[in-house]
Amino acid sequence: MKKSKVVSKRLISRDGKVTAEAKSVVSVSSNSESATNQSVTVSIDSSEGGSSSSSFCSSSSSTSTTQSSRSN
């Protein structure tokens, strides 16, 4: 089962226009081969023009369990 979370924040000017926005999306798989993906996007709008930046990060790891048995 995959779990994800989205966080979004906006800066709004006094006249109601969005001047900047940041959004982060994180997805995590919940199996033994766990993988995490994160995407971050930042957008800035000004009177002279807009600017946008985006970043993506991915990591994965595997976990294994070992069992030992003893006989007497």
pLDDT tens per residue, range 5-55:
888 888 888 888 778 888 888 888 776 666 777 777 888 776 666 676 767
State the amino acid at position 61 in one-letter form. Answer: S
Residue bearing the bigger pLDDT, 43 or 58: 43
- pTM for this model (two decimals): 0.53
> How far apart, in Å, are the Cα atoms of 45 and each of 3, 17, 31?
31, 9, 40
How far apart CA 40 and CA 56 sit, in angstroms, is 6
Would you state the pLDDT for residue 33? Answer: 61
Residues written for the chain = 72
